[in-house]
């Protein structure tokens, strides 16, 4: 592979993704649609520049590993536990019925049983990226609806990981027999057990220590490099030593890092390149698309869209209603799942490499994904009309709001976890825990306000927690760090260290998250004060000015000045220094 072959593919893929991603974003669609379209444009079935598919696939493989690491990194067992009574049965029932319908549909079109089953599995998963954005756009990510939908997706992700483990075994001959299925499950369970044991127990003790030693060097490059080596190394070892997919190893590595103090720092610092490789993954999938699918596979495409955009929401809606949840929540959750995304492609890609799926399947999946992701946000506009219609109809309302004997207690209590408690706990965020940060935190705590501390130095975490504060290990220059600290719902943000790198960027990000937040900044020099205020700080305390005022006050008092004279001179000096 020559360097000259790599550069055009990389530049062409990322450039096309940037262009189409920007256009789709401006149109209010998911950028994933743009990335897939970019792949279509630079693919072999479109005129003009054609990227090297082999190189694109290698980049895509790295993208899959980093995507799965990100899924594991953000895997939240507590979040799933809060909605387990609906998310677990709901996702299992929806995925199972979607697989059955998808398999039956493709069998009717003459596919083999194995290919039909794999295709049915591939179209059973919704896009975590798209659903998260839909919920964020409607301000429901931190509501009961968001909790249920995210919990549902977590279960889907776990099922997808299990599928990735089982797929290689399905490619072996003699699968469809009692003995074959039993041996597949036994071998897969043994492999998964060994991988989980090795990564979570052994890696759980080694990886955090390695990250801690590297973090103590204060080198961002070394920390990023360490995370990448850990992820790619574990993924490769999982495949070579245990014979399971690299995706599983990356997912487990993400869980291990996610349970450590370095989860937020890994997400904010070491994974920006994940987004680039993830983009190349979607571009490589788009390159497989052939417009001829609209003519040669029109029945399969229509059937897939009907399953994804009609059957899946209907199944999900029915499950949520039967389990005793409100009508509006059932509609929101059901309509948010009306698309396919990254896991569908990951499963289909692996199946294609194992020769379990025909190339026709990839054409249909790309077309169905572009169409469903583009149209799924429109379903949300139907929620209010349907809710009003059902509320006004005396015939429909009793049917839709029925409860079965085992209906669960409404989960409205989860709303409190993300509304009042967040506003109470995250009233103030302090960046830095040096002498000034400690003093400010102590004064706040003495007055009934327990601040959250953002700290870069891992060695300070124990002290912060011992002093009774919530600690967030990470760089305040990253949006995810500020989000995790609760800046979006805070009343004030205090930058307590005069040496904080990129204070203007922190202010900008904080204003983006929370336009009403009060931002107090400490700077070293007076010349930094005006630019910080122009960038959005409410108050800036410059070290030079404060020292000058303290010295002036001391000298005046030593010369015998009266309190009134001292106050008058101090006010004049403050006006001269800070005007």
Mean pLDDT, the chain, whole residue set: 79
Best CA proximity match to 122, nearest among 87, 156, 172: 156
Write down the pLDDT at residue 307. 93
Say yes or no to pLDDT of 231 above 90. Answer: no
Specify the higher pLDDT residue, 575 or 354: 354
| Rounded Cα distance, 510 and 537, in Å | 10
| Rounded Cα distance, 523 and 507, in Å | 13
Say yes or no to pLDDT of 314 above 50. Answer: yes
Specify the higher pLDDT residue, 226 or 164: 226
pLDDT band at 579 (very low <50, low <70, confident <90, very high): low
Q: What are phi and psi of 128, to 5 degrees?
A: -60, -40
Specify the higher pLDDT residue, 200 or 90: 90
What is the tens place of the pLDDT at every residue in 507-555?
888 988 888 899 999 888 888 888 888 888 888 888 777 778 788 878 8
Say yes or no to pLDDT of 194 above 80. Answer: no
10 Å CB burial of residue 464 (0-12, 13-18, 19+) is buried
The answer for residues whose C-beta is within 8 angstroms of residue 275's C-beta and 6 or more apart is none
Strands (E), 238-371: none
Write down the pLDDT at residue 185. 64
Percent pLDDT > 70 in the chain is: 85
| Rounded Cα distance, 56 and 10, in Å | 8
Mean pLDDT of 337-362: 84
Region of poorest pLDDT, from 163-167, 180-184, 526-530? 180-184
Mean pLDDT of 340-358: 83
Mean pLDDT of 446-460: 85
What is the tens place of the pLDDT at every residue in 274-291?
778 878 888 888 887 778
Write down the pLDDT at residue 413. 36
Tokens 């709303």 belong to residue: 415
What is the tens place of the pLDDT at every residue in 359-415?
888 888 888 888 888 888 788 788 888 887 776 554 544 544 444 333 333 433 333
Task: Give yes or no for a contact between 325 and 403, defined as CB atoms under 8 angstroms apart.
Answer: no
User: The sheet that has 452-455: what strands, in order across it?
Assistant: 470-473, 452-455, 428-431, 492-495, 518-523, 539-542
Say yes or no to pLDDT of 335 above 60. Answer: yes
Mean pLDDT of 292-297: 82
Mean pLDDT of 251-271: 77
Write down the pLDDT at residue 268. 74
Best CA proximity match to 473, nearest among 441, 424, 431: 431
Write down the pLDDT at residue 177. 53
Task: Give yes or no for a contact between 317 and 133, defined as CB atoms under 8 angstroms apart.
Answer: no
| Rounded Cα distance, 332 and 453, in Å | 35
Helix (H) and strand (E) counts in the chain: 31, 6
Task: Give yes or no for a contact between 566 and 553, defined as CB atoms under 8 angstroms apart.
Answer: yes
| Number of other residues whose CB lies within 10 A of the CB of residue 232 | 18
| Rounded Cα distance, 569 and 122, in Å | 75
* Helix, coil or strand: residue 473: strand
Query: What's the first-to-final CA gap in the chain, in angstroms?
Result: 63
| Spacing of C-alpha 59 from chain mean position | 21
Specify the higher pLDDT residue, 170 or 119: 119
Region of poorest pLDDT, from 130-134, 404-408, 493-497? 404-408
Task: Give yes or no for a contact between 404 and 319, defined as CB atoms under 8 angstroms apart.
Answer: no
The answer for residues whose C-beta is within 8 angstroms of residue 381's C-beta and 6 or more apart is none
Specify the higher pLDDT residue, 559 or 192: 559
Write down the pLDDT at residue 4. 52
pLDDT band at 430 (very low <50, low <70, confident <90, very high): very high
| Rounded Cα distance, 39 and 20, in Å | 10
294 sits in which H/E element: helix 293-296
Highest mean pLDDT among 17-21, 252-256, 560-564: 17-21
How far CA 93 is from CA of 81, 336, 476, in Å, comes to 18, 17, 41
| Rounded Cα distance, 73 and 267, in Å | 7
| Rounded Cα distance, 180 and 117, in Å | 16
pLDDT band at 448 (very low <50, low <70, confident <90, very high): confident
| Number of other residues whose CB lies within 10 A of the CB of residue 439 | 11
The answer for residues whose C-beta is within 8 angstroms of residue 329's C-beta and 6 or more apart is 144, 145, 148, 320
Region of poorest pLDDT, from 86-95, 172-181, 204-213, 256-265? 172-181
Best CA proximity match to 428, nearest among 414, 413, 411, 448: 448
Best CA proximity match to 136, nearest among 125, 124, 123, 149: 149
| Spacing of C-alpha 318 from chain mean position | 27
Write down the pLDDT at residue 302. 92
Specify the higher pLDDT residue, 495 or 407: 495
| Spacing of C-alpha 541 from chain mean position | 36
CA torsion angle for 414, 416, 418, 419 (degrees, to 10)? 150
How far CA 324 is from CA of 78, 168, 277, 401, 560, in Å, comes to 22, 39, 41, 8, 78
Pairing of strands 518-523, 539-542: parallel
Strand-pairing partners, residue 431, are 454, 495
Say yes or no to pLDDT of 38 above 70. Answer: yes
455 sits in which H/E element: strand 452-455
Residue 249, both tokens: 């190893």
Write down the pLDDT at residue 179. 60
Best CA proximity match to 66, nearest among 260, 244, 280, 212: 280
Say yes or no to pLDDT of 315 above 90. Answer: yes
For residue 530, the number of C-alpha atoms closer than 13 Å in the C-beta half-sphere is 5
Residue 453, both tokens: 């501390």
Say yes or no to pLDDT of 462 above 80. Answer: yes
Residue 499, both tokens: 């040496």
Is pTM beyond 0.85? Reply is: no
| Rounded Cα distance, 382 and 196, in Å | 43
What is the tens place of the pLDDT at every residue in 464-486?
988 888 888 888 888 888 888 88
């Amino acid at each position: 592979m020559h360097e000259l072959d790599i550069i055009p593919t990389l530049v062409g893929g990322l450039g096309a993704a940037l262009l189409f991603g920007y256009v789709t974003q401006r149109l209010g669609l998911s950028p994933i649609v743009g990335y897939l379209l970019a792949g279509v444009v630079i693919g072999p079935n479109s005129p003009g520049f054609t990227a090297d598919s082999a190189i694109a696939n290698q980049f895509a493989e790295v993208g899959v590993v980093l995507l799965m690491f990100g899924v594991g990194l953000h895997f939240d067992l507590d979040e799933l536990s809060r909605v387990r009574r609906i998310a677990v049965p709901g996702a299992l029932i929806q995925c199972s019925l979607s697989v059955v319908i998808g398999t039956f549909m493709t069998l009717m079109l003459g596919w083999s049983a194995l290919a039909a089953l794999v295709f049915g599995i591939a179209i059973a998963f919704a896009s975590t990226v798209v659903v998260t954005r839909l919920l964020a756009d409607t301000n429901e990510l931190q509501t009961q609806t968001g909790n249920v939908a995210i919990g549902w997706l977590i279960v889907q992700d776990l099922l997808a990981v299990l599928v990735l483990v089982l797929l290689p075994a399905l490619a072996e001959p003699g699968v469809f027999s009692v003995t074959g299925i039993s041996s597949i499950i036994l071998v897969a369970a043994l492999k998964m057990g060994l991988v989980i044991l090795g990564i979570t127990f052994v890696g759980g003790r080694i990886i955090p220590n390695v990250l801690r030693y590297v973090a103590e060097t204060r080198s961002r490059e070394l920390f990023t490099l360490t995370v990448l080596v850990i992820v790619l190394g574990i993924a490769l070892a999982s495949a070579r030593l245990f014979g399971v997919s690299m995706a599983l190893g990356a997912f487990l590595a993400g869980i291990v890092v996610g349970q450590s103090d370095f989860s937020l720092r890994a997400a904010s610092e070491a994974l920006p390149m994940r987004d680039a490789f993830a983009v190349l993954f979607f571009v490589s999938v788009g390159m497989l698309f052939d417009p001829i699918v609209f003519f040669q596979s029109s029945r399969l495409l229509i059937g897939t869209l009907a399953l994804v955009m009609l059957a899946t929401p209907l199944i999900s809606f029915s499950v949520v209603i039967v389990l005793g949840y409100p009508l509006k929540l059932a509609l929101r959750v059901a309509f948010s799942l009306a698309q396919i995304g990254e896991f569908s492609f990951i499963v289909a890609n692996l199946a294609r490499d194992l020769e379990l799926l025909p190339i026709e399947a990839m054409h249909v999946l790309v077309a169905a994904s572009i169409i469903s992701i583009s149209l799924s946000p429109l379903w949300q506009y139907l929620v209010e009309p349907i809710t009003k219609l059902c509320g006004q109809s005396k015939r429909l309302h009793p049917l839709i709001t029925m409860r079965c004997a085992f209906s669960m207690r409404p989960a409205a209590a989860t709303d409190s976890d993300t509304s009042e408690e967040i506003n109470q706990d995250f009233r103030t965020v302090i960046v830095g825990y040096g002498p000034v940060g400690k003093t400010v935190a102590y004064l706040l705590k003495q007055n009934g306000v327990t601040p959250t501390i953002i700290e870069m130095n891992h060695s300070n975490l124990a002290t912060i927690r011992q002093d009774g504060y919530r600690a967030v290990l990470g760089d305040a220059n990253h949006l995810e760090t500020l989000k995790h600290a609760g800046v979006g719902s805070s009343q004030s943000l205090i930058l307590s260290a005069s040496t904080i790198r990129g204070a203007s960027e922190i202010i900008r990000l904080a204003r983006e998250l929370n336009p009403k937040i009060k931002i107090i900044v400490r700077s070293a020099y007076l010349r930094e004060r005006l630019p910080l205020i122009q960038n959005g700080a409410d108050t800036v305390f410059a070290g030079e000015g404060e020292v000058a005022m303290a010295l002036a006050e001391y000298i005046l008092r030593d010369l015998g000045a009266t309190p009134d004279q001292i106050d008058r001179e101090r006010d004049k000096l403050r006006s001269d220094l800070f005007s």
